Amino acid sequence: MAGIRTGICSGRVVAVTGAGRGLGRAHALAFAAEGAKVVVNDLGVGLDGSGASGGPAQGVVGDIAALGGEAVAHGGDIATADGAASLVATALDAFGRLDTLVNNAGFLRDRMLVNLGEDEWDAVMRVHLKGHFLPLKYAAAHWRAEAKAGRTPRARVVNTSSGAGLLGSVGQGNYSAAKAGIVGLTLVAAAELGRYGVQVNAIAPAARTRMTERTFAETMAAPGDGGFDAMAPENVSPLVVWLGSGASEGVTGRVFEAEAGRITVMEGWRPGPTADKAARWTPAEAGEAAYELLARSETPQPVYGVQPSS
């Protein structure tokens, strides 16, 4: 495979959901390039989750094979118990083990809140949040069994959140809520699964994919004079590969932003200014205290899509 390779994932088996296109495809190819055997999951659905085709997953398997790697396709719906369980089973049947799970599958049903239908809310919650929970649940059950049998793994999970989940995004209330939920799920899973040799982290990527064509329309310029395509999904994959490798020992429960050539550790909610009366406040007192605390606090980052005030 082309480029400088280190074999950082040699011998590892990696399952990537939503790997038929975009970021998932880039991750699958990057893992294979570093020596991993890959389970390529994809339903082959449209941007809104409609339709289904095995073509995208099989295409990525073919690309990996053409470059000298090993991969198998998985067409199950990972937002169902059967589909998630079969993802893990496919890795074990094909390669005899599972070392890394990359949860990446998703689609959009964007609407302003007053126009957002219940079915559109449920569909996005299902594929993003439930579609993270179920593969994580079944992979974790396998790794727990391995640890209890005296074969403690060096397992890794990389979840996919978003800047929309960290800051919010106008017109994406369902997507933002689901992606925020993934951060919470990541923190809990990291705390619960560490005893079994499992590390769980999340990324908030920014790249050119079907899901972001409208969001990044103004920043999706062609590569500059240096040939660096800042919005290429392949820019995000090196961090995902490292987090999914044994080399990331000790890194768990963290969230990273990855975009172009930039990696940022995101620092979540932590206590800011506080006031303690040591007794019950009246509403007026609580309001006065809140105003005073807000005056000493940092201004939040703006929600995506909010126009800056003049």
pLDDT tens track, the chain, 310 positions = 445 578 999 999 999 999 999 999 999 999 999 999 999 999 976 555 454 545 899 999 999 999 999 999 999 999 999 999 999 999 999 999 999 999 999 999 999 999 999 999 999 999 999 999 999 999 999 999 999 999 999 999 999 999 999 999 999 999 999 999 999 999 999 999 999 999 999 999 998 865 555 544 444 444 555 678 898 999 999 999 999 999 999 999 999 999 999 999 999 999 999 999 999 999 999 999 999 999 999 999 999 999 776 5
291 part of the active site? no
Distance CA 132, CA 120 (A): 18
Catalytic residue among 37, 130, 138, 175: 175
Domains of the chain: 13-266 (3.40.50.720)
Q: Which of 86, 162, 245, 248 is catalytic?
A: 162
162 is catalytic: yes
Torsion on CA atoms 29, 32, 33, 35, rounded to nearest 10 = 170
Q: With helix as H, strand as E and coil as C, how does the chain read? A: CCCCCCCCCCCCEEEECCCCCHHHHHHHHHHHHCCCEEEEECCCCCCCCCCCCCHHHHHHHHHHHHCCCCEEEECCCCCCHHHHHHHHHHHHHHHCCCCEEECCCCCCCCECHHHCCHHHHHHHHHHHHHHHHHHHHHHHHHHHHHHHCCCCCCEEEEEECCHHHHHCECCEHHHHHHHHHHHHHHHHHHHHHHHHCEEEEEEEEECCCHHHCCCCCCCCCCCCCCCCCCCCHHHCHHHHHHHCCHHHCCCCCCEEEEECCEEEEECCCCCCCCCCCCCCCCHHHHHHHHHHHHHCCCCCCCCECCCCCC
Residue among 130, 176, 179, 245 flagged as catalytic: 179
Catalytic, 53? Answer: no
